[in-house]
């Protein structure tokens, strides 16, 4: 499915060629022995890492159910349903945590 032009994609260093396909992409700078990162590049990488950490935590949570971490051996039409259920559980738990946090921080 093609991405819309205004959609911002946040990826890690493994997707170096995606900028040729989708211009609106945030990708961290790579470092090497010969070319160290400048302070501005380090700040850029830090901003991207702070945004990606949320995505990585969701991926870790979904992999706990072993639906994504191993080969799916059941009927294909049930995969979407099971994935949606797990995502719903995550969203429900996350919504409760956020509402509790907001409640605790209000004066």
Percent of the chain with pLDDT over 90: 11
User: Using CB atoms within 10 A of its CB, is residue 97 exposed (0-12), middle (13-18) or buried (19+)?
Assistant: exposed
Q: Using the predicted structure, report yes or no on whether residue 20 has a pLDDT greater than 70.
A: yes
Q: Which residue bears the tokens 């499915």?
A: 1
Please, which pLDDT band fits residue 97 given cuts at 50, 70 and 90? low
* Rounded CA Rg of the chain: 18
pLDDT tens for each residue of 58-80: 888 888 877 777 777 777 778 88
Long-range contacts of 31-36 (CB under 8 A, 24+ apart): none
Q: Using the predicted structure, report yes or no on whether residue 41 has a pLDDT greater than 70.
A: yes
Q: How far apart are the first and last CA of the chain?
A: 46
Instruction: Write the CB contacts of 72 (distance below 8 Å, at least 6 apart in sequence).
Output: 79
């Amino acid at each position: 499915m093609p991405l819309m032009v205004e959609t911002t994609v946040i990826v890690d260093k493994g997707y170096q060629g995606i900028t040729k396909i989708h211009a609106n992409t945030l990708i961290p700078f790579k470092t090497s022995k010969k070319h160290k990162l400048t302070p501005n590049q380090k700040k850029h990488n830090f901003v991207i890492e702070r945004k990606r950490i949320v995505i990585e935590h969701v991926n870790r949570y979904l992999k706990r159910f072993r639906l994504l971490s191993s080969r799916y051996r059941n009927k294909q039409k049930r995969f979407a349903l099971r994935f949606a259920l797990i995502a719903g559980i995550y969203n429900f738990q996350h919504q409760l945590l956020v509402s509790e946090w907001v409640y605790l921080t209000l004066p």
